[in-house]
């Protein structure tokens, strides 16, 4: 996947007093992966390849309104 404008995002605190962070999925990835609101992303760290993160998309049953 080539770098497009907006492919880099910043992490921010999800809530105060937690270790959770949040980021925005860049629109180029949303379009490429055909993501919709309500889809879930499962994050897995590949321990054999440092720096590689696997993201699995779990499609929601709710269809977005157009």
- In this prediction, residue 5 has a pLDDT band, given cuts at 50, 70 and 90, of low
Tell me, yes or no, whether 46 lies in a domain: yes
C-alpha R_g of the chain:
14
DSSP H or E segment with residue 58: strand 53-58
Mean pLDDT of the chain: 80
Q: Which two tokens stand for residue 44?
A: 């897995």
| pLDDT computed for residue 65 by the predictor | 61
Q: Which alpha helices (DSSP H) does 1-66 contain, by range? A: 27-33
Q: By residue range, what is the domain housing residue 50?
A: 12-58
| Contact (CB, 8 A) for 25 and 49 | no
What is the C-alpha end-to-end distance of the chain, expressed in Å?
28
Residue 48 lies in a domain: yes
Tally of domains in the chain: 1
More confident residue, 31 or 3: 31
């Amino acid at each position: 996947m080539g770098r497009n404008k907006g492919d880099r995002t910043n992490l921010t605190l999800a809530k105060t007093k937690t270790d959770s962070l949040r980021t925005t999925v860049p629109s180029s990835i949303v379009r490429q992966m055909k993501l919709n609101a309500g889809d879930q992303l499962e994050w897995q760290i590949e321990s054999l390849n440092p720096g590689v993160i696997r993201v699995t998309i779990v499609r929601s049953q709710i269809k977005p309104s157009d």
